[in-house]
């Protein structure tokens, strides 16, 4: 793994000057992921905060080749580009020893929900590409609507806390496990708060011959209702409480990347966020207990899969 001194010498492939919100976790995730690629890379991005805020015509923040995709087809587009690259190599129009990497970025709305079919197809067909989901837990670009990644109890504009309900009643999808079920060579869950871990996992993903998937926790201060300067702190609490465990699955083998001696209570992660403030009102104690119980159960299940105590 590269040291921070070595990483400081690598070019930042997403420049400043874009119009993402202050404290946005998406741009942090992209910059850390692209520090893990060596050599030429082609990036694609589904419609979302990242795409619309970094490619305002005629400008672009990307220092790579970049393809804009519709909401649902980032993985399909990049798999097609990768297939074309393989054909051109076979025809001798690209040198056989030239290696180009391909990466598709999508938010949780474009990945867990709208783009799941194209992502599943690309992974199942075995394209040599990396897919990165920057998970901020809702459709933030269009007004903070709930997505398949929105946590239980979170108040969004389509699952508002009030008299009719106490936020989203369903549990979030476990997309990392869904990707693992595709039996691809590399699957990992990471967070912008643990940059060494994320860059290391990105390096492994780009080194794979075949499909790789990274699910990255990327807080949205606006949607999570936290101050702009709390992005890294709240993401770290997500990891330390077990809400977002860091792990990887290499050829089917599980490995937990960060295992604290004891998890912090999940309320440490929930309480600073405005989207969960209703859970702390009198009468909602059971919802907090249910949330904690689910996190604990998932953590114990992961430890068993990884073969650790």
Which residues, 6 or more positions from 179, have their beta carbon under 8 angstroms from its beta carbon?
123, 187, 213, 215
Nearest CA among 129, 149, 150, 139 for reference residue 213: 129
- What value does the CA radius of gyration of the chain take, rounded to a whole number of Å? 19
- The confidence score (pLDDT) of residue 4 equals 86
- The confidence score (pLDDT) of residue 171 equals 97
For the chain, the maximum distance between any two Cα atoms, rounded to a whole number of angstroms, is 69
Q: Is 156 helix (H, G, I), strand (E, B) or coil?
A: strand
pLDDT 10s digits, 180-225: 999 999 999 999 999 999 999 999 999 999 999 999 999 999 999 9
- Between CA 309 and CA 306 the distance in angstroms is 9
- The confidence score (pLDDT) of residue 3 equals 86
CB burial readout 122-153, b (16+ within 10 A) else e: bbeeebbbbbbbbbbbbbbbeebbbbbbbbbb
Nearest CA among 69, 58, 154 for reference residue 106: 69
- The confidence score (pLDDT) of residue 309 equals 78
- pLDDT mean values, one per 10 residues, the chain (309 residues): 86 94 97 96 96 94 95 96 97 95 97 97 98 98 96 98 96 98 98 97 97 98 98 98 98 96 96 98 97 97 94
pTM of the model: 0.97
Q: Which element (helix H / strand E) includes 133?
A: strand 130-135
Q: Categorise residue 90: left if φ over 0, alpha if ψ from -120 to 50, beta otherwise.
A: alpha
């Amino acid at each position: 793994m590269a040291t921070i001194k070595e990483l400081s010498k690598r070019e930042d492939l997403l420049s400043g000057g874009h119009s993402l919100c202050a404290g946005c976790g998406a741009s942090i995730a992209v910059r850390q992921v692209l520090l893990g690629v060596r050599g030429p890379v082609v990036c694609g991005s589904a419609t979302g905060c990242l795409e619309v805020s970094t490619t305002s015509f005629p400008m672009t923040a990307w220092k790579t080749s970049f393809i804009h995709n519709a909401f649902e087809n980032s993985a399909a587009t990049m798999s097609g580009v990768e297939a074309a690259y393989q054909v051109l190599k076979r025809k001798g129009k690209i040198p056989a020893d030239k290696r180009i990497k391909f990466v598709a970025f999508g938010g949780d709305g474009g990945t867990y929900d709208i783009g799941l079919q194209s992502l599943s197809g690309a992974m199942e067909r075995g394209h040599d590409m990396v897919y990165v989901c920057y998970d901020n837990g809702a459709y933030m670009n269009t007004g903070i609507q709930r997505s398949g990644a929105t946590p239980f109890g979170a108040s969004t504009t389509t699952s508002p806390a009030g008299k009719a309900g106490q936020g989203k009643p369903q549990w979030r999808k476990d997309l990392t496990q869904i990707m693992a079920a595709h039996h691809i060579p590399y699957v990992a869950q990471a967070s912008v708060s643990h940059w060494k871990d994320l860059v290391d996992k990105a390096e492994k993903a780009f080194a794979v011959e075949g499909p790789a998937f990274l699910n990255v926790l990327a807080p949205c201060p606006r949607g999570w209702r936290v101050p702009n300067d709390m992005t890294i702190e709240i993401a770290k609490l997500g990891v330390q409480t077990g809400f977002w465990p860091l792990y990887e699955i290499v050829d089917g083998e599980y490995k937990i990347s960060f295992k604290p001696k004891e998890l912090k209570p999940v309320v440490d992660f929930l309480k600073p966020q405005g989207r969960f403030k209703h859970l702390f009102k009198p009468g909602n104690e059971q919802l907090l207990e249910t949330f904690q119980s689910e996190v604990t159960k998932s953590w114990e299940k992961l430890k068993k899969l990884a073969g650790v105590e």
